[in-house]
Structure 1
Amino acid sequence: MDFRKFQITFLKMVDIFGTPYLHSIKFNQKIQKSILGGIISIFILGISLAYFIYVINQWCTYQILPKTNNSMKVEQFSEINLQDDNPIIQISYGKYSEQSLDPFDTQNNILMPIGIYFTDGKPQKPFSLLNNKQKSDVYPNKLLPSLNKLSLVQNGNSNQDYKKTTELVIMIAKCNEEYLSEGGKCATDQQIEQFFATSVTYMDFWINLKQFNSQTQKFEVVRKQYYFWFESKSAQLSQIMIKKAYLHVDKGVLFNSYNDYNYIQDTQIMMSTTTTKLWAPLVSGDTYLSLIFRLDPVSIDVQLVYPKLGEVLAMVGSIVNLLLMVKYGAQYYNESLLENKLTDKIIRYYYSDFEELKTSQDFQTKFYYNQLKKQAKRKLIFHNILYELSRIQLFLFNQFGRTSIENSHQLKFRFQDFKVDFEGEVFTAKQQQTQLNLIAHESTSNFMIISIPEKEKMKNQRGEKVHPEIRSSLDQQSLSQDK
């Protein structure tokens, strides 16, 4: 075998698109189909299309829940730098009535919020959170200035290659004129004693956490609220551990496409009691409440993966496959219908009174008809078809001998025998077309003469619309042949 022939053979062998030859049941029909099958097909296709549109709409509007993977990790170094239009940290004082003293009044100030950043344990310059632009939260609470910026660093190994540990301390201290804005003044000692004697001393503190909404693909703010009490004789110290979260969102349609975010996911508080002189070396005077903000080395890593197009199509396909289980019922119906049609046709070829045989109500006749159907089914078996053809060949061999059968291989039509020579004749175009139609009809009739049973052939001839001149010529040929 030469190389070219080997290539052709190999290419044909690896062809995965080969199709089997199907015998035609009728002209241009190779597969049995039925009205019931069509109804079921429309039903299944309609439901499948509706479900496909529904799932695609769910996918496009992000209503299909993404796959989420949460894990905790311990980091030797981490930092968070947040700057948000929304407040990150807010503090307010519960002032129950208008008659109660406002400890954060800048004209008669009793309490002063002071912030200090500690870098690698070393305090930075203190700054006041008090100004004249105080707002009311839920009446009559007084909302202190909020923090919209927060920078914290956690360096567990004090690695010099990274930023140094940074923490924030917010103190509620006794008024100090050093931190008052221009025009402000501290309250008298009598006013301060009156405040602690007649007021409910608690602070309302909250930190705004965030969570990611998988449907809107936006962050939502969640307020986590705490209450802190304080008094003039002792101080409260609270360590607020801020737990950072890393979010990786994959919104790719076909391939991965990640967007990374980091935000405050949660907080933990540890409280203890200390003296009011704890921060005296840093800020002169007493301190009643201290909030120390630290970055927790344990963080949360969240991976959010939205369904890819392939997963959505697979989801639709699984439901469609479930619906297509109905198709087996329709296929069984079509197979039974085809088998009954073929067996009836075989019996019809043998019995001229087939209709009477099939519709008879006589028990013996019905039994005989059922036996014939079983035999007809056996005739449809391919091996039996080959066997019957071999019997016909042996019969012809026995009747006509080997020579006649061998000569049959040489029997063929000659198309030239049907051609008409128009040379020397004068015909109109209509007459020429009539002669050509006659030739075509004669040649095809000879070609199909044993392909259709006589009864069917006569029925087809009666139903055909033949040109009157062709019909007349056919009748004349039939008459001459009879003579």
Structure 2
Amino acid sequence: MLTILEKFDIFGVPIKLKTIKQQEQFKTSQSGVIAIIIMILSLAYFIYVIQLWINGKLIPKVTSSQRMIEYTTYEWEKSEISFTLYDLSSDINPFTLENNIIMPVLVEISGLFVAAKPRILYSTLQVDGDKNVVTIDKGKLVLSQVDGTKEEDQEDIKQYFIFFTKCRPDWIDEGGYCADQQTIDEYFSINHGLLFLSINLQQYNYETLEFDEIKKTQFFAFEESSPFYSQVILQKQQTTIDNGVLLSNLESFEVIKDYEVNTQSVSIKFAQNTIKTKENTKFEFDSLCTFVFRIDNIETNETILMPKLGEVLAQIGSIVNMIMLLKILSNMINTTMLESSILHQIIEIYYPQFKQVEIKKNFFGQVKQVHYKGVEIKLSMFQYKYNQLIELARTKFTFNNLIQELSRVQLVLINQIGMENIKNIFKIEEDLKFFDHDTPNSNCQIQNLASISPEESPQKSDFERFGLFNSEI
């Protein structure tokens, strides 16, 4: 039964024979240097990639696609949309509640009509005396079909209509007042620079694993004589992030990734004629410029797959495999040096004089100098004979030659002592005298396992001398 089980064992290990140095493998200093280089490079690259991964500097896999949408909303709670007048001609802030000159008016359009009372946006920030900022602190835009069926939980389309007009006393909020007419006329008599539209966009930061706000700004010429109409289309993005270390950990976010602006020249009555109420009431005003904010019906879907531990280890493994190609070179060096050493030992067995030969080789194993008993031998003469002996030793080192040699020894033994005597030799068993009571003589006899010392090896007189040393004969 145990024999049958042994046949199914797939974890068997080879039986290794030790070398003269009691090693199971032949090792060299050259290969040791390569092994150290491999280990240092592998460890250094491992630490380098792990540091990149921890610090979020490995590029994730990002896929992006677009699709048409019929309904979506976008709501913000902070000042993501702002207007700034970069006035280089005057230090006057025209958007203040007191001494107001220009009114930025926000009108919420639901469907096709005004949905709420117009709201005046007053300046909330004065920077360096010449930057006058008006912000939309919070808001909500809705993309929906104007006509057609909607779900019960879906809102009507909602857009923001913002126009800039001269101050109207009947529109100003409580506590505020317009500047006098002379001040207003003097203000508009000179050029006041550019009107900047700034919208905060969101972009995912792979290092901090958070969304960064990026302010994108568009410039518009601000002149009373050149009114314009701009349609600001916010492009929404659905971002899905997988930041799991081992398994997937999906998180979804809705952000504004970009916006585009379409601008055209219009009359000062364009905004007045465009705004409609359900009661058909009209607002009488002249617009300096008009902006309409809406959501684009094309949504971008972005999927970000952050590198996982398995991918990092796979990347390290692929580079380490390239580094481990040095192992092939190391194995080739060891194989060549092992073969050279064994062949040289075979030559020494047949020609013991070679034990006194000193051969100096370079790093690549090429013979550079040869000395015999302190006398240098001519390299060309030695190399020719030595190469011949190497080829002969290589032939003797083959498996077939070993079998052939053993068969010849067997034939010699049979002819010299006979088959019956050989059989009797294999029947002889010697007891190991280990304990004192095993034999009167307490000396332990360990003969069967005794190895042959180098002194007991065949003497040089038993073999043919090497041709280079004929002078000694």
> Where on the TM-score scale, by shorter chain, does this alignment land: which range?
0.7 to 0.9
Aligned mates of 1:353, 1:316 — CA distance in 2 = 53
Identity percentage of aligned residues: 27
Q: Is residue 357–residue 369 contact of structure 1 (8 Å, CA) maintained in 2?
A: no
- CA distance change for structure 1 residues 187 and 158 in 2, over 3 Å: closer, same or farther? farther
SS in 1 for 2:418: helix
Q: Is residue 357–residue 366 contact of structure 1 (8 Å, CA) maintained in 2?
A: no
**Displacement of 1:36 after TM fit?**
1.6
Corresponding residue number in structure 2 for 1:254: 246
- CA distance change for structure 1 residues 421 and 283 in 2, over 3 Å: closer, same or farther? same
Q: 2:389 aligns with which of 364, 368, 372?
A: 372
Superposed CA deviations along residues 105-129 of structure 1, whole A, max 9, x for unmatched, are 4333332122122222232112423
Could you tell me which runs of 5 or more consecutive residues in structure 2 were left unpaired when the two chains were aligned.
Answer: 359-370, 460-473
Corresponding residue number in structure 1 for 2:14: 20
Corresponding residue number in structure 1 for 2:8: 11
Superposed CA deviations along residues 365-399 of structure 1, whole A, max 9, x for unmatched, are 66444333322222221222222222222222232
- CA distance change for structure 1 residues 380 and 201 in 2, over 3 Å: closer, same or farther? closer
Corresponding residue number in structure 2 for 1:106: 97
Q: Is residue 88–residue 150 contact of structure 1 (8 Å, CA) maintained in 2?
A: no
Q: Is residue 106–residue 160 contact of structure 2 (8 Å, CA) maintained in 1?
A: yes
**Displacement of 1:403 after TM fit?**
2.0
Q: Is residue 232–residue 260 contact of structure 2 (8 Å, CA) maintained in 1?
A: yes
Greater share of helix: 1
**Displacement of 1:242 after TM fit?**
0.4
Aligned mates of 1:209, 1:398 — CA distance in 2 = 101
Q: Is residue 236–residue 296 contact of structure 2 (8 Å, CA) maintained in 1?
A: yes
Corresponding residue number in structure 1 for 2:341: 341
Aligned mates of 2:336, 2:225 — CA distance in 1 = 98
Q: For 1:136-175, what aligned pairs fall within 5 Å after superposition?
A: 136-144=126-134, 146-156=135-145, 158-161=148-151, 162-175=154-167
Q: TM-score, normalised by structure 2?
A: 0.80
Corresponding residue number in structure 2 for 1:47: 41
Q: Is residue 249–residue 260 contact of structure 1 (8 Å, CA) maintained in 2?
A: yes
Amino acid at match of 1:140: D
Count of aligned residue pairs for this structure pair: 431
SS in 2 for 1:290: strand
Aligned mates of 2:173, 2:162 — CA distance in 1 = 18
Superposed CA deviations along residues 54-97 of structure 1, whole A, max 9, x for unmatched, are 1111111111222222222222222222234xx21111234434
Q: Is residue 211–residue 219 contact of structure 1 (8 Å, CA) maintained in 2?
A: yes
Could you tell me which runs of 5 or more consecutive residues in structure 1 were left unpaired when the two chains were aligned.
Answer: 426-434, 459-483
- CA distance change for structure 1 residues 357 and 270 in 2, over 3 Å: closer, same or farther? closer
SS in 2 for 1:412: coil
Aligned mates of 2:287, 2:427 — CA distance in 1 = 122
Corresponding residue number in structure 1 for 2:294: 294
Aligned mates of 2:410, 2:120 — CA distance in 1 = 113
SS in 2 for 1:32: coil
**Displacement of 1:148 after TM fit?**
3.2
Corresponding residue number in structure 1 for 2:467: none
Amino acid at match of 1:285: F
Amino acid at match of 2:131: N
Corresponding residue number in structure 1 for 2:362: none
SS in 2 for 1:413: coil
Corresponding residue number in structure 1 for 2:111: 120
Superposed CA deviations along residues 290-345 of structure 1, whole A, max 9, x for unmatched, are 21101001122222222222222222223322223333333222222212222222
Corresponding residue number in structure 2 for 1:72: 66
Corresponding residue number in structure 2 for 1:383: 400
**Displacement of 1:241 after TM fit?**
0.5
Question: Aligned pair 1:90/2:82, yes or no?
Answer: yes
Q: 2:449 aligns with which of 426, 434, 447?
A: 447
Q: Is residue 158–residue 165 contact of structure 1 (8 Å, CA) maintained in 2?
A: no
- Cα RMSD over matched residues? 3.2
Aligned mates of 1:10, 1:184 — CA distance in 2 = 99
SS in 1 for 2:390: helix
**Displacement of 1:269 after TM fit?**
1.2
Q: Is residue 232–residue 292 contact of structure 2 (8 Å, CA) maintained in 1?
A: yes
320-329 or 257-266: which moved more? 320-329
Aligned mates of 1:137, 1:303 — CA distance in 2 = 39
**Displacement of 1:186 after TM fit?**
3.1
**Displacement of 1:18 after TM fit?**
3.5
Q: TM-score, normalised by structure 1?
A: 0.79
Aligned mates of 2:402, 2:138 — CA distance in 1 = 90
Q: For 1:268-279, what aligned pairs fall within 5 Å after superposition?
A: 268-272=260-264, 273-276=266-269, 277-278=272-273, 279=275
SS in 2 for 1:153: strand
- CA distance change for structure 1 residues 183 and 33 in 2, over 3 Å: closer, same or farther? same
- CA distance change for structure 1 residues 282 and 312 in 2, over 3 Å: closer, same or farther? farther
- CA distance change for structure 1 residues 177 and 385 in 2, over 3 Å: closer, same or farther? same
- CA distance change for structure 1 residues 316 and 101 in 2, over 3 Å: closer, same or farther? closer
Corresponding residue number in structure 2 for 1:420: 436
Amino acid at match of 1:11: F
Corresponding residue number in structure 1 for 2:365: none
